[in-house]
Amino acid sequence: MNGFSSLVPSPATVRPEPGTCRLHADMPLTVDGPPEAAALARRFLASLGEAGNTPPNTTETTWFSVRAAVDGPPGGYALHVTEQGVTVEAGDVEGVSGALTVLRQLLPDQVWRRAGVPSGGWTVPCGTVSDAPAYGWRGAMLDVARHFLPRTAVLRYVDLLAAHRYNRLHLHLTDDQGWRVESRLHPRLHEVGAWRPSTRLGPDGVPDGTPHGGYYSLDDLAEISAYARSHGIVLVPEIDVPGHTSALRAAYPELGRPGEEQAVLDTVWAGGSSISPTEPVAAFLRDVLGEIVDATGAPYVHLGGDECDMSWWADDPAIAAEMAAHGYTEPRQMHGHFLRGLGGFLAGRGVRMIVWDEAFVTGGVLPDTIVMAWRGHEVAERAARTHDVVRAPLFPTYFNFDQSDLPEERRSEGGPITLADVAAFTPAPPEWPAELRSRVLGAQWQVWSEWVPHERHLDYLAFPRACALAEVLWRGGVDDPAAFEDRLRAHLPRLDALGVEYRPPGGPRPWQAGGTGAWRRTGPGRIEETRKWVESISREP
């Protein structure tokens, strides 16, 4: 398989040509574009010197050029490789990053290592690639609340996403089991909410007695955002409210139900109660959201809005008084009001609000809110009638689920969701009217980390399914599954060079198997029952 036929995701148009071009770190570089584009090109060339041992006294006159494309689509690019040099044309940093990723995939697999061969330098086949993505939102969500991922691991995942031409990194920063971002205005959030004394895996788990936690300083979050942006990726921070807030309430009990015991949950399975949807709590959250926006410059902030216990709201005097003042008769109306208020604050900062689909059901949306639909097909279609939608359906984008029903598969939350299931996904279904399909911005995969204690386990679950979704989102679908499988086989050595501990398509590696201990599977997955249940609740708040 030649280089152009092994690209993942595959470009829209490829025209191989005779000859090769020799690349090395000292190639003359010209850039007509923003400083970020120049930085990307310099970093690419520098990596060739670090990994390829540029021959001394090189006399070749090949050149490397990056040019701005005035009329190019977002994320699109053209890559021209001749015997005389390389030209990249793109309209934005995302496009430059994509072109350089394709160029790197055309080189030998060793180029993905931090240091290595060949001693004679690098050669790339000549040809032209003209390309643009089918979807503008090509994302991944990392749940760093249930199990914390160090900053270095998140930065590594920026690299892995860029290597597959993703352009959104959604960080689920808060939940019942941990609050993962510093607040200088309300420091107990990270001083108390970031830590739990023990962890229990699953509904039948026993406490392990080992403290767990961590958080990102605002400087850490700023670094992650800047690093992602330099690779054409937008950071999407999520502060999940008003439900999933045990860690928040452990730090500031007065924000929750009076008299209720407050603690950071040690079980990663159960959910906790909610905060009060009143103006004093909203003011507190405006402080926190302002800090995050200031640190990251994020154009989007996710406010959650999912799985919220509202059962106590109508009986609470302060909440009941605010409900009456606004003429509300049901708690779900207050849920929507609370989220709209926070969304309005974000809008005043130039930030677009995102919510899970439960908030769409309660009216917790503004006209330009993005609805992230996880509960199946029907709720996504309803949301697309009035709002932009990012598809994130449990099936097939919850990568925390098993990849097969093999008995040796490691225990997880459910499944299976196979590589073939992901490859068959269509974010904007063809049976939808054109106007609804146009509201689908794209999709993303999720790894909820209830059963994901470390980065190695994350690799096992994310890859190679992330390769399949990258293909879907870039090309609009996988038209030829057999051809994709061939390209994936050629792509896996690149993941090996990158140190990705992916699950092989044929089955788990020995360390990935469940064995006979706590990770042993108790039976086959029940994905069809799970899918029916998710659809059945899709009209509920």
DSSP per position, 88-112: EEESSHHHHHHHHHHHHHHS-GGGG
Q: How much is the pLDDT for 51? A: 46
**Confidence class of residue 308 from pLDDT cuts 50, 70 and 90?**
very high
Domain boundary among 72, 103, 131: 131
Q: Residue 480 carries which side chain, given as an amino acid letter?
A: D
For residue 317, whether the previous peptide bond is cis, meaning omega lies within 30 degrees of 0, is no
Range of the domain at 141: 137-536
Residues 162, 237, single domain; the answer is: yes
The CATH number of whichever domain residue 258 belongs to comes to 3.20.20.80
pLDDT tens digits, 477-495: 999 999 999 999 999 999 9
182 is a domain residue: yes
Residues 108, 236, single domain; the answer is: no
Domain boundary among 113, 131, 149: 131
Residues 392, 517, single domain; the answer is: yes
Q: How much is the pLDDT for 60? A: 55
Residues 149, 168, single domain; the answer is: yes
Residues 249, 318, single domain; the answer is: yes
User: Is residue 191 annotated as a catalytic residue, yes or no?
Assistant: no
Residues 142, 125, single domain; the answer is: no
Residues 371, 495, single domain; the answer is: yes
Residue 271 has pLDDT above 80, yes or no: no
Residues 282, 311, single domain; the answer is: yes
Domain count, the chain: 2
Residue 444 has pLDDT above 80, yes or no: yes
Q: Which two tokens stand for residue 333?
A: 């109306």
283 is a domain residue: yes
Residues 10, 159, single domain; the answer is: no
Residues 163, 198, single domain; the answer is: yes
Residues 363, 476, single domain; the answer is: yes
Q: How much is the pLDDT for 202? A: 79
**Region 424-447: what's the mean pLDDT?**
98
Residue 507 has pLDDT above 90, yes or no: yes
**Region 189-193: what's the mean pLDDT?**
99
CB-side neighbour CA atoms (13 Å) of 287 = 12
345 is a domain residue: yes
**pTM of structure:** 0.97
Contacts of 256 (CB under 8 A, 6+ apart): 245, 248, 249, 262, 273, 274, 275, 276
Give per-residue burial for 383-421: e unless 16+ CB within 10 Å, then b.
Answer: bbeebbbbbbbbbbbbbbbbbbeeeebbbbbbbbbbbeb
CB of 102 within 8 A of CB of 129?
yes
Kindly report the average pLDDT of the chain as a whole number: 94
Q: How much is the pLDDT for 136? A: 98
What do you get for the CA distance between the two ends of the chain, in Å?
A: 50
213 is a domain residue: yes
Q: How much is the pLDDT for 341? A: 99
CB burial class (10 A; 0-12, 13-18, 19+) of residue 210? Answer: exposed
Residue 57 has pLDDT above 50, yes or no: no
541 is a domain residue: no
CB of 95 within 8 A of CB of 77?
yes
468 is a domain residue: yes
503 is a domain residue: yes
Q: How much is the pLDDT for 204? A: 79
Domain boundary among 76, 102, 131: 131
Residues 91, 157, single domain; the answer is: no
Q: How much is the pLDDT for 1? A: 64
Q: How much is the pLDDT for 50? A: 53
The CATH number of whichever domain residue 120 belongs to comes to 3.30.379.10
Among residues 307, 330, 455, 485, which one is catalytic? 307
Q: How much is the pLDDT for 442? A: 99
pLDDT tens digits, 27-39: 999 999 889 999 9
